[in-house]
Amino acid sequence: MPDVQKQNGQPWFYSDTVKEHFLHPKNFVEDEASLSDSYLGMVGSPACGDVMRVWLKIEKDAGGAERIKDMKWKTFGCASAIASTSMLSVMVTENNGMPVETALALRPQDILARLGGLPDRKIHCSVLGDKALRAAINDYFRTSGQTDRITVESGRIIDKVLKITDKDIENAVLEGADTVEKVQERTKVGTADPSCLPEVEQLVRFYREKYCER
C-alpha cells in the first residue's frame, strides 16, 4: 500500500517504489574520496534544503558508444529527493549503461514515471536530479576535451543559485502550477535566491495568460 502523509489537509501518496528507494537507496556513496577519478555534477543549495552530488564513470563500448557504467551519488534532502536520485542511478546504469546522448535527454517526467509519481509539492526533487546528471556529463566533456559538446540549460537562468530557468517555470505552468506558490512547490525557484521572485511573478502571469486564459 502507498504511504500517505498530509500537508495542509491534502494527502500525499508515496508509491511502494518511492519507499523502496528511500529506505534502501541504490548506489549511494559515503566515501567521496574513493571517487576522485569520476566525473562530478552538483546542483542545489543548503539554503533551500536539497543538495545533490552525482559521480559518473563513462566508458566507450566495443562499438565506440559512450556509456554510463556507474553512477554514485549523495543527496541531502527529503525522502523524495533521495528516492529520485536513487532511481536515476538505476536508470542510467541498467542494461550495460545508458548512452550519454540518451542520458542528456532524460527529463523529470522520466524519473517520475519510474517512481510511480511523487506528490505535487515534491516534484522539484526529480528536477534537481536530471540537472545534476547533466552537470556530471558536462564535467566529462570538459575533462575529455570535448568542450563543444557541453550543454547549457535551455532558457534564461532566473534563479542563479538553483539554476532554474524561464523554461522550467513555463513547464511548471503548463503542468498546472498557476500561481507563484505552486511554481515554487514544483521547482523551489526563489527559495535560495529571493531576489528573483518579482521576475518569477511576471513570468507566471505571462505564461498563465499565454496558455491558460484564452
Taking only the tens place, the pLDDT of each residue in 173-204 is 877 888 999 999 888 899 888 999 999 999 99
What number is the average pLDDT over the span 33-45?
83
User: Does residue 11 have a pLDDT over 50?
Assistant: no
Are 16 and 2 in contact by the 8 Å Cβ rule? The answer is yes
Grid cell, residue 90, equals: 538505476
- Please give the residue range of the domain that contains residue 214: 155-214
**Domain identity same for 196 and 109:** no
How much of the chain, in percent, has pLDDT values that exceed 90? Answer: 40
94 and 21 in one domain?
Answer: yes
Shortest CA distance to 66 belongs to which of 148, 160, 146, 174?
146
Cα distance between residue 119 and residue 6, in whole Å: 10
CB 142 within 8 A of CB 97: no
pLDDT above 80: residue 20: yes
Backbone angles phi, psi at 89, to 5 degrees: -65, -35
CATH of the domain at 24: 3.90.1010.10
- Where among 113, 135, 151 does a domain terminate? 151
Q: Provide the b/e sequence for 120-140 (b: ≥16 CB within 10 Å).
A: bbbbbbbbbbbbbbbbbbbbb
Q: What is the mean pLDDT of residues 78-94?
A: 90
Rounded mean pLDDT, 108-124: 79
Of 13-17, 47-51, 155-159, the poorest mean pLDDT is in: 47-51
Hey, CA dihedral for 194, 111, 9, 79, is it positive or negative? negative
Question: In 10 A of CB 56, how many CB atoms?
Answer: 26
Q: Which residue has the higher pLDDT, 208 or 201?
A: 201
- Kindly report, residue by residue over 44-54, the tens digit of the pLDDT: 665 555 678 89
> Cell numbers 532554474 label which residue?
164
Q: How many structural domains are present in the chain?
A: 2
Nearest to 123 by CA among 166, 64, 72, 164: 164
Q: Is the pLDDT of residue 159 over 50?
A: yes
Q: How many residues does the chain have?
A: 214
Look at residue 134 in the predicted model and tell me its pLDDT: 92
Query: Among 151, 168, 192, where does a domain finish?
Result: 151
- How does the average pLDDT of the chain come out, rounded? 84
Tell me, yes or no, whether 8 and 75 share the same domain: yes
Q: Which of 125, 144, 140 is nearest to 43 (CA)?
A: 125
Residues assigned a catalytic role: 48, 125
Q: Residue 171 pLDDT more than 70?
A: yes
CATH number at residue 181: 1.10.10.1100
